[in-house]
Structure formats: structure tokens, C-alpha cells
Amino acid sequence: MHFTRDNIELFLAVLDHGSFSAAARALRRVPSAVSMAVANMEAELGYALFDRSRREPVPTDRALALAPHVRAAQDQLTQLHNHALALSRGLESRLTIGIVTDVNPQALLRAVNLLSRRYPLLEVEMIQAPQDDILHLLQQQHISLALAWGGLRVDSQWQFQWVDDEALVATLAADHPLLAKKAAPRWLEDLIQVRQIVVASRSRPLADARAKVATSCWYADSFAMALEMVRAGLGWGNFPQTLIAERLARGELVRLRFGNTENALRLPVHLVWNKAQPLGQGARELVALMRGGE
Amino acid sequence: MHFTRDNIELFLAVLDHGSFSAAARALRRVPSAVSMAVANMEAELGYALFDRSRREPVPTDRALALAPHVRAAQDQLTQLHNHALALSRGLESRLTIGIVTDVNPQALLRAVNLLSRRYPLLEVEMIQAPQDDILHLLQQQHISLALAWGGLRVDSQWQFQWVDDEALVATLAADHPLLAKKAAPRWLEDLIQVRQIVVASRSRPLADARAKVATSCWYADSFAMALEMVRAGLGWGNFPQTLIAERLARGELVRLRFGNTENALRLPVHLVWNKAQPLGQGARELVALMRGGE
DNA sequence: CAGGAGCTATCAGTTTTGCTGACAGGTTGG
DNA sequence: CCAACCTGTCAGCAAAACTGATAGCTCCTG
């Protein structure tokens, strides 16, 4: 008989309901069916699972020892079944997500964690790369969803969902000469003469005209690279707050505050996907989770 | 149909053998049975598991994605089955092992590791306690097997298996005045006048008359306690080498070597069990593993 | 290109498995 | 002691699954 699904269900029903009759009621069977099935299991195993000396069967030590393992097996089977059915409802069997290097992945990871509870057998793969590479992977359909900087170009190829705004803060290396002169810039205009490190690349032009302030600009294609340049004292730059929080705290960097730009630059973070590649169920629910729905 | 054991077996057989017919041969069925069963699974799931456009069915992406999970479920089922059958062959469902505090558990842990491969669902509980407590637990049948110091008393209540000999080495705190005088003891006789910390207790008299050397002795009931006393400079003592190896290396303790006692004291380590409580299959195999017989 | 080998799918018939329902016998509690 | 409820047994039955024959397809080989 070999521990088939039915036997597992039956055995656990007897344990949970305390008697063959109750189990039979729960399973919509007749008591004798349960009785015979249990007797068959016992015959196969070679030992008693229940002691029938009292009116209601009391589980043997062995049955009790077996119970948690049987339950685990049942859980795995129902999980498998749910997953197989979910596949038919459009769940992808593997969800590959791209994350742009500079974007804070915390919220996404929280959402993925929730998703993994809903679909325990769903495989998730995370790919971290610069924005250009992520978009390329998305275009090639190697990833189905990406967390990326948004608002960059309107392109009918992409579909997206706003997720968050990263506040950009103007930052300077703590040992930059501008600070040493005890004349820390008070107004944004004070920075016009100081070289600015701007994040932009061929394929990704400046998002916001406001982003470029200084007359002399050097360019980097990621915040990570730009950050290195700023730390090396090559200039100042605007960075997502979360990206530089630690360095600010450690005193490596200094945040510049201005009297006239209280409303900081904000860079939108989007979940992006390819119109040509319809989202799977997991990706759809992930988007919903990130939108805050549920 | 609900992913019963038969379906799992069948699905995997088809994947592994590459065709319905081959799977049917392997399962000693007729091909049509396999064909129908697969068709039923597909009908239930709502999508194709195999593409029949070629001569031999080629598994769908979904089938391939499902495969590892199905395999895992099958493994768990067979594991459960094996365990349930092993219980009928005398395997205990939980193996509780006592380990005397001072005894080096490495060899035992290695053996338990091997045992856990053989019986993946066997639960193992380890209890560490002083020798007297371990023997008491053994007597009360709260533990079924113990790793303990042996050769202590011949008692028809116990059965045992020699496992190892721990070499005892004479040890002194590094800052003991005896060493400061630049007159480190060269012969065992030099220690007769130095207070010795002896491990012995009411219920466990000295194993070996040779163990007591000095005229002035203080007593502890475990090596751990005795070690603290030696480290505090209260005297010298004999300790299992493995127990003090680190402290010797760190220079906290100093090993005394004598010209006249090359053959060090050796304390046997035994696996002990209670005659009144016959060993389960797991315990028996553990004893065999410790004896070195695979 | 023809034909054979080997595969899958279908279907009617049969086997097997397990369920049913009635009944007998035991245990519990008032 | 009886009513209620439980388990176990058994003959009959229903559903599920397997079989074996057949047809049609694919692929390889000469």
C-alpha cells in the first residue's frame, strides 16, 4: 500500500478526530472503510498504529512518533498540488527580477518575502546590474520584472508601476577643500562653480533639468561610481539618501543643505516590465504587493 | 486525482525513461495505462505535461519546472515509508544519548552523523551531564545509551562497549610557583609533595591506584571542575589530553613530562547501556559504528 | 522512398481495489 | 442494565484503473 496520499490523509484524520468514526465523518466515508484502511496499513507495516482496547482507538507510541513526519509529507504533497494548479492559473515557475545597482532593494525584498509565503515553491532569481544592463535584459526577456529608476524615457515598449521616490541629497566628501575654508555653501548657487558629478549615461539622459547645476560636470553611469568619485574629492553630487546614509553617519561624506531648495530632487523608482512579455501570476502579485495593495 | 503516490512515480518514470512505453516497461504496466494516466493528470492540472508532436514525448517547460518538486515529494514519501518499516524492525523513534561532560564527544558525533544518513527521520537527543547523573539517567531509562568513563565498577546492571582510551597528562597552571623556581619537576616523584587535584566522587572511586600520587589530595567530581582548580593554582592534576589541548596551546596550562612515566595513564571511554532496556536498532548500529565495524 | 520498428492514443472488456451497508460485538456512562 | 457509540467483519457493489487489440503517427535505415 506504500503510504499513498489517501492513507496519509486517513491516518491524520483519525489522529485529529480521535476515532475511526469521527474520521469517517470528516472524510465522508463509512466507518468500516476507515477501519479497514487502518487495518491494511497496520498489516503492511507490521505493527499496530492504534490500541483498540478502549472504546476509542488510542494511537500507539509508534503512531505518535510517525505523525509529525506523516504530516510533513502531507504538507509537501498539498504544496506540490497547489503549485501545480497555480502553474495552470498562470504562475511562472521561475521569477527573475532585475534590480538596478543603485536602487534600494528593501521594499522589494519585503514584498518578495510575502510572495514566497503565498507560493512556497516559486523559484526567484535576483539579478543586480546597472540600469542600462537591466533594461537590456528586460528587452531580451531574460528577466520579467525590474526595479529601476523611472521617468527616464517614455517608450511604448515598457510598462511600469511607480513604487517609491528616492530623495536625492547634495553630498560632498568630508575632506573637500570647500568645507575646509569654513565657508560651507549655504545656497545652491554656491555650488555652480564647483565641479559636479552627474549620473547619466548615453542611453539614459538626465532625468531632470534641475539635476545639473554646476557649470563643470563630470559624468558617471551609476551612483556607485559617482559616489566613489565624490569620495575621492573630485566634486559634489546628488545621491539617494538611503545609499549614503551610512557614509554620512560615519562622517566620510557631508550632506549639503541649502536655504533655497527645501523640496529636494526626487528620483522615482519604478517596477518595469516588457509589454511584449506578459507578466506571470507571481510577477503580477508582486506588483500589487509593491503598490501596497494587500 | 490529486498527486497520489502512483502518479508521482509514473510522472518521474516517464521523465527518467524518456517515453511512455519505457516508463511502462519499468513499471511493469502496459503503455496505454501510462498514456491514460498522464492524460488524466494533464486534464486535472489543466495543461500539457508532455509535447507529443514528436515520436517520443518531450516534457513541457512546466513539467520540467515541476520535476524537482515532484522528486522531492517522492523522496519524502519513500523516506517516510522506510522509516515506518524500520520502526517495525526495531528502530526506536527517538534515540536519547547521554554524554559525560568531560568525555570528548567527537567520535560519537561522527558516528551519529553516519547514523542519521542511514535513518534520516530518526530523532536524536543529546544530554550532557556529569558521570553520576548520566548513570542515573541510564538506570531510570531516560537515556538509552551513554558515552562515559569506563572501567569504574563491574555491575551486572550495565552492558558496555570499549570505545577509546583517553590519555591523561599531568598538568599544572602556567603561573604555579613550582614552575617559577626554574626547578620544574623532572620526575613523577617530584610531585609527591605538591597538592594533587584528583577526579573522583562518592559513587565513582578512583579508577586506578596509580592515579593518586601526591600525599595531599583535593577532590573534584569532574575534570571540568578539577581543571578550574588547577587553573586557579590550587595544585596539579591529570587530565584528558583533548580536554586541555587548547589551554596548553594558549599557554594557560603547562604539561609536565617525566622521565620515568612514558606510558601515561589511560582512562577508557565506554558506550554504556542498561541491560534492562534492550537497545533499539539505531542504538545497536551506533554501537557498531563506534566499534569501527562500519 | 519504402518499410519496419517503435511510439502514442483510443476503446471495449476485465480485473482490482476499495467503498457500502447491514450486522455483530465491545465499551462507556447514566 | 440500557442507550449510545464505537470497531470489525462480510457479502455485494461501484468506480477506478489496467489490459490487449488496433490504428495512426514518427523516425530510422537500407
As a rounded value in angstroms, the CA-to-C1' distance for B55 and C5 is 12
Residue B44 host element (H or E)? helix B31-45
- Judge whether residue A57 contacts strand D, using its CB and a 7 Å cut-off: yes
> How far apart are the C-alpha atoms of A191 and A47, rounded to whole Å?
85
Q: What pLDDT, on the 0 to 100 scale, is given for residue A168?
A: 87
- Judge whether residue B21 contacts strand C, using its CB and a 7 Å cut-off: yes
Q: In B, residues 105-164, which contact A (CB 8 Å cutoff)?
A: 121, 123
Supply angle C-alpha B169, B179, B174, rounded to 5.
60
Task: Give the number of other Cβ atoms within 10 Å of residue A269's Cβ.
Answer: 24
CB distance from B2 to chain A under 8 Å?
A: yes
- Above 60 in pLDDT, residue B192? yes
Alpha-carbon distances, residue A240 vs A18, A55, A134, B52 (angstroms): 60, 71, 19, 53
CB distance from B219 to chain A under 8 Å?
A: no
CB distance from B94 to chain A under 8 Å?
A: yes
> How far apart are the C-alpha atoms of B286 and B293, rounded to whole Å?
10
- Percent above pLDDT 70 for chain B: 90
Q: What pLDDT, on the 0 to 100 scale, is given for residue A257?
A: 81
- Judge whether residue B236 contacts strand C, using its CB and a 7 Å cut-off: no
Tell me what the mean pLDDT of segment B257-268 comes to. Answer: 73
Name the residue type at position B96.
T
Residue with smallest Cα–C1' gap to C11: B32
- Above 90 in pLDDT, residue A181? no
* Cβ pair B87:A76 closer than 8 A: no
Residues of A in contact with B83 (CB under 8 A): 66, 69
What would the DSSP string read from start to end of B68-91? HHHHHHHHHHHHHHHHHHHHHTT-
- Above 90 in pLDDT, residue B112? yes
CB distance from A43 to chain B under 8 Å?
A: no
B2 → closest Cβ in A5, A88, A94 = A5
* Cβ pair A65:B93 closer than 8 A: yes
Q: For A263-267, B49-53, B109-113, which range has the lowest pLDDT when averaged over its residues? A: A263-267
Backbone angles phi, psi at A51, to 5 degrees: -100, 120
* Cβ pair A45:B69 closer than 8 A: no
What would the DSSP string read from start to end of A217-233? EEEESSHHHHHHHHHTT
Burial (0-12, 13-18, 19+ Cβ within 10 Å), A108: buried
pLDDT digit string, tens, across residues A52-78: 998 889 999 999 999 999 999 999 999
| Band of residue B205 on the pLDDT scale cut at 50, 70, 90 | low
pLDDT digit string, tens, across residues A185-194: 667 777 788 8
Within residues 31-90 of protein chain B, the ones with CB less than 7 A from nucleic strand C are 31-32, 35-36, 38-39, 52, 55-57
Which residue on chain A is closest to B2 by alpha carbon? A81
Task: Give the number of other Cβ atoms within 10 Å of residue B205's Cβ.
Answer: 9
> How far apart are the C-alpha atoms of B13 and B27, rounded to whole Å?
8
Q: What does pLDDT average to over chain B?
A: 89
A76 → closest Cβ in B46, B73, B81 = B73
* Cβ pair B93:A5 closer than 8 A: no
> How far apart are the C-alpha atoms of A219 and A234, rounded to whole Å?
11
Name the residue type at position B95.
L
pLDDT digit string, tens, across residues B211-238: 788 888 999 888 888 999 999 999 999 9
- Above 90 in pLDDT, residue B290? yes
pLDDT digit string, tens, across residues B67-86: 999 999 999 999 999 999 99
As a rounded value in angstroms, the CA-to-C1' distance for A166 and C4 is 71
- Above 60 in pLDDT, residue A293? no
Name the residue type at position B5.
R
Q: What pLDDT, on the 0 to 100 scale, is given for residue A267?
A: 84
As a rounded value in angstroms, the CA-to-C1' distance for A33 and C21 is 11
Q: What pLDDT, on the 0 to 100 scale, is given for residue A227?
A: 93
Backbone angles phi, psi at B139, to 5 degrees: -65, -40
> How far apart are the C-alpha atoms of A231 and A235, rounded to whole Å?
8
Q: What pLDDT, on the 0 to 100 scale, is given for residue B31?
A: 95
Alpha-carbon distances, residue A127 vs A48, A111, A244, A273, A281 (angstroms): 53, 16, 22, 14, 20
**Are B20 and B14 within 8 A, CB to CB?**
yes
Per-residue cell: B216: 595531599
Q: What pLDDT, on the 0 to 100 scale, is given for residue B132?
A: 85
Q: For A119-128, B83-92, B177-186, B235-244, which range has the lowest pLDDT when averaged over its residues? A: B177-186
Helix A31-45, helix A20-27: angle, nearest 10: 110
Q: pTM of this prediction? A: 0.83
Residues of A in contact with B6 (CB under 8 A): 4
Beta strands in A102-216 (DSSP E): 123-129, 145-149, 158-173, 196-199
Per-residue cell: A78: 498539498
**Are A274 and A138 within 8 A, CB to CB?**
yes
Nearest nucleotide relative to A56: CA against C1': D6
> How far apart are the C-alpha atoms of A160 and A28, rounded to whole Å?
49
> How far apart are the C-alpha atoms of B186 and B203, rounded to whole Å?
34
- Above 90 in pLDDT, residue A179? no
- Above 90 in pLDDT, residue B155? no
Alpha-carbon distances, residue A81 vs A12, A264, B58 (angstroms): 18, 50, 22
Choose among A250, A222, A216: nearest CA to A236.
Answer: A216
Q: For A96-105, A117-126, B116-125, B166-175, which range has the lowest pLDDT when averaged over its residues? A: B166-175
Nearest nucleotide relative to A36: CA against C1': D8
Which bases along strand D come within 7 Å of a protein CB atom? Answer: 5-10, 17-22, 25-27
Q: What pLDDT, on the 0 to 100 scale, is given for residue A1?
A: 64
Q: What pLDDT, on the 0 to 100 scale, is given for residue B167?
A: 87
Tell me what the mean pLDDT of segment A264-279 comes to. Answer: 89
> How far apart are the C-alpha atoms of A211 and A204, rounded to whole Å?
13
| Band of residue A2 on the pLDDT scale cut at 50, 70, 90 | confident
